[in-house]
Chains A and B, each alone.
Chain A
């Protein structure tokens, strides 16, 4: 059984996919399996997939069911001790799995969170957006591991909740993932906040890696889901609802500060989505958001001032704190 299972989903990435594949197969640490789940790609991507040949690689084909469904297919097939994800147009540095493996050996966490790099539209390379949060957590956690019984654990969780909710920054122990029932919310896009929130809240132990373990690329060569202005963005409302409902069932829900951070992180993604939407769709988006908020556990309205909140999260929270939802 491999130590790490890496899952990449594909849907018409074409030759861009090769960057991700080469980066995974080029890892200096070699005890891993690589699962590529093709989510109904057209011929050119299938042609590229058919030419890949490596004993560690398995390609799974399914009809188009969306990103969440494809990732769940990968999770179901994974056999490694730990599971991680890599989008088909991103990349893992050669040292990524080696650093991850070393940290796993040292800390055996349920969840390992990894900083990353960003290569922007112009090819400028910089730390990923959430580098300051990782730096702050590292200051509190010199050993790089937080256990639930640790008095600072909830504070770490609240900080980790504000890390970018994306899949490449997580390495999850498979036994924990299965026991916690962690999945991506089908059939939705903007799915990451759900997985992110529950992985952090349910993990008994969270480790923080001290090396960049993925590189996110902003690319003009293909349309990225984060660019869309269409009603696909309404998915975030459903995902936020699922996230808030699931979090409301956890013991941490009783902590008002943590509850506030989770709500703020959902609202931040909602805020960003609305700002990117076609203007004609915005009233309906707001209406649905208000309705969703009115249907989640009313204790989410008990918003507490929270010095851990990043200003961007606070702004999203303030925006909705003034809305009809908060007043009812």
Chain B
């Protein structure tokens, strides 16, 4: 439990301040270039701190702001401001912005103050506090804290002293190795010392009416963002040390919430959001083909068990009383009657009705775990990947990819892990459309549809077309999906699918046809497994012709001019 102290905290003893000033004398100049500004600032003589701060400036903050357009005026909160490597060039480049810096490390704070003073940046207010989820403070202190913050927002700098005496103390863990790293809570690893830090409750930050949030607050990022859900925040940048659900930067949270916040140590995983320009809503529409439901709505029930508000269900099927009763019982389902022209037509029709950024395609035989799709959707948002997938069981048997992914590293994601599987290798696996979430704009851009003319092989063609363009597919561990149904690898449709894909490869000038060639071989083998031997011979000859045509194309493409 956090302590609360009614008076000046031990953090501000004369001894501490004296030590901080002495350490401050150890600071030396550092050249900083960012946001079009070049400046020489004081920085503590700690190599790690300097390198770490500059790395973040050049690999996170500047790139993030290079993709966003800020208003001429606003309020920025710089949480974990350090010695000012972000705030100082930012304030020079954006003179219409007010900046509140929060930095609990005394040495960094004093260097920051010295820099602000030297550069005469009157729009920056530096506060020697941490931000935390603290809730254990007296109600009257809450009012007093808000009043002090309002004074600060109004430009009354002396409100800092009044504020510091009100703040509760919270336990943070300070790294003895990575100097300057401070995380919320008690980390018992030997690397850390526990310290008590005056901490402003995150719930108070909205008083400052922020429009930009720059966040370096290990292990407390999600708490801070969620506490600011009503503030009109247009920009969120920083780095995170724990999972933050992508939902917290989506409506109904106020402001545009353009976000770039990579996960520490995992630069390809990031809380990310851009200014929306194609009119689609950031949502997952699961398109369900109900043509064979026969009164069994277990698939729909499984989908509805997912508590996420970001998932809607578009059910396509015949009009029946039972169906009508079921689908009208839940507002998350939109039901469309469509003439029964096969699963491909139903899924294409559903896609045309959707206004969502992401799509999944399932049928009545698909039984996802409770949070299967909401987790996949979160992973899709945080990787930006065109396709993400989860594990599945087919007819009660756990399916693992034919390619062996055991050597591929696992990365932390929420309470589980994910891997980046090679997309070309996945092309050889049996198609399993229903365990994936797709980006709609990707499918549209690459003209990838389910081809009704290919019957059951539309799955194979769709999988091949979508994976062909990708470097990798993130696969989530944990929650799984169960699918019932038997593969229908018809010889006639297989050859038709090969023909279509070969034609696309020719017309679109696909590079590296070896993966496509291997996927042809794998599919041909699956098809042969369902055939009688005498039929198989003729099929093999025909399939071989297509594979040879592909190889011929590939050979031509690498010929020297």
Contact = CB atoms under 8 A, between A and B. Distances in A.
B559 to A, nearest CB: 9
A315 to B, nearest CB: 12
A132 interface: no
Interface stretch (B12-20, B155-163, B380-388, B457-465): B380-388
A229 B386 contact: no
Given A15-B278, A275-B509, A94 B63 contact: no
Contacts of B110: none
Contacts of B385: 122
B122 interface: no
Given A15-B279, A276-B509, A322-B560, A211 B35 contact: yes
Interface string A86-105: 00000101111011001000
Interface string B509-534: 10100000000000000000000000
A278 B279 CA distance: 32
Given A28-B93, A221-B441, A125 B64 contact: yes
B253 to A, nearest CB: 19
Q: Is the interface of A mostly helix, strand, loop or mixed?
A: mixed
Contacts of B62: 212
Contact of A26 (B38, B69, B383, B561): B69
Contacts of B72: 26, 28
Nearest to A275: B511
A290 B72 CA distance: 53
A122 B260 contact: no
A136 interface: no
A99 B89 CA distance: 13
A91 B93 contact: no
Contacts of B560: 319, 322-323
A220 B444 contact: yes
Interface string A261-294: 0000000000000011111101000100110000
Contact of B268 (A119, A124, A127): A124
A293 B485 CA distance: 59
Contacts of B507: 229, 278-280
A303 interface: no
Contacts of A93: 35-36, 65-66
Given A19-B275, A26-B72, A286-B561, A212 B66 contact: yes
A282 B556 contact: yes
B509 A279 contact: yes
A18 interface: yes
A211 B65 CA distance: 12
B33 interface: yes
Interface residues of A, number: 50
A122 B383 contact: yes
Nearest to B272: A123
B67 A119 contact: yes
Residue of B279, B441, B561 with most partner-chain A CB within 10 A:
B561
A279 B553 contact: yes
Contact of B63 (A15, A18, A126, A319): A126
A15 B278 CA distance: 7
B277 interface: yes
B420 to A, nearest CB: 11
Interface string B242-262: 000000000000000000100
Interface in A153-191: none
A242 interface: no
Interface residues of B, number: 50
A210 interface: yes
B557 interface: yes
A50 to B, nearest CB: 18
Residue of A121, A223, A275 with most partner-chain B CB within 10 A:
A121
B48 interface: no
Nearest to A280: B506
Interface string B85-109: 0000000011100000000000000
B415 interface: no
Nearest to A120: B384
Contacts of B66: 91, 93, 117, 125, 212, 215
Nearest to B70: A94
A320 interface: yes
A94 B444 CA distance: 32
A95 B38 CA distance: 12
A18 B36 contact: no
B51 interface: no
A316 to B, nearest CB: 11
A324 to B, nearest CB: 8
Contacts of B36: 93, 95-96, 98-99, 102, 211
Contacts of A95: 35-37, 93
A94 B278 contact: no
Interface in B52-72: 62-67, 69-72
Given A122-B383, A229-B509, A94 B65 contact: yes
A22 B507 CA distance: 37
Contacts of A72: none
Contacts of A121: 384, 386, 442
A18 B33 contact: no
Given A19-B275, A279-B557, A94 B439 contact: no
A88 to B, nearest CB: 11
A298 B35 CA distance: 47
B235 to A, nearest CB: 11
Nearest to B71: A26
Interface string B31-55: 0011111100000000000000000
A41 interface: no
A26 B509 CA distance: 40
A238 interface: no
A8 to B, nearest CB: 14
B445 A19 contact: no
B274 interface: yes
A282 B557 contact: yes
Nearest to A277: B509
A137 interface: no
Interface in A19-33: 19, 22-23, 26, 28
A285 B61 CA distance: 44
Interface string A1-40: 0000000000000011011001100101000000000000
A121 B69 CA distance: 19
Contacts of B441: 219-221
A45 to B, nearest CB: 13
Interface in A211-232: 211-212, 215, 217, 219-223, 229
A86 to B, nearest CB: 12
Nearest to A22: B69
A229 B508 CA distance: 6
Nearest to A322: B560
B66 to A, nearest CB: 4
B87 to A, nearest CB: 15
Contacts of A278: 506-509
A159 to B, nearest CB: 20
Given A221-B278, A229-B509, 10 more contacts: A16-B278, A19-B277, A26-B70, A91-B66, A91-B69, A93-B65, A215-B66, A223-B445, A276-B509, A278-B509
27 contacts: A19-B277, A26-B71, A26-B72, A91-B66, A94-B35, A99-B36, A117-B63, A119-B67, A122-B384, A124-B267, A124-B384, A125-B64, A125-B66, A125-B67, A212-B62, A217-B67, A220-B439, A220-B442, A222-B445, A276-B509, A278-B509, A279-B507, A279-B509, A282-B556, A319-B561, A323-B560, A323-B561
Which 4 pairs show the lowest CB-CB distances between chains A and B? A122-B384, A99-B36, A95-B36, A220-B441
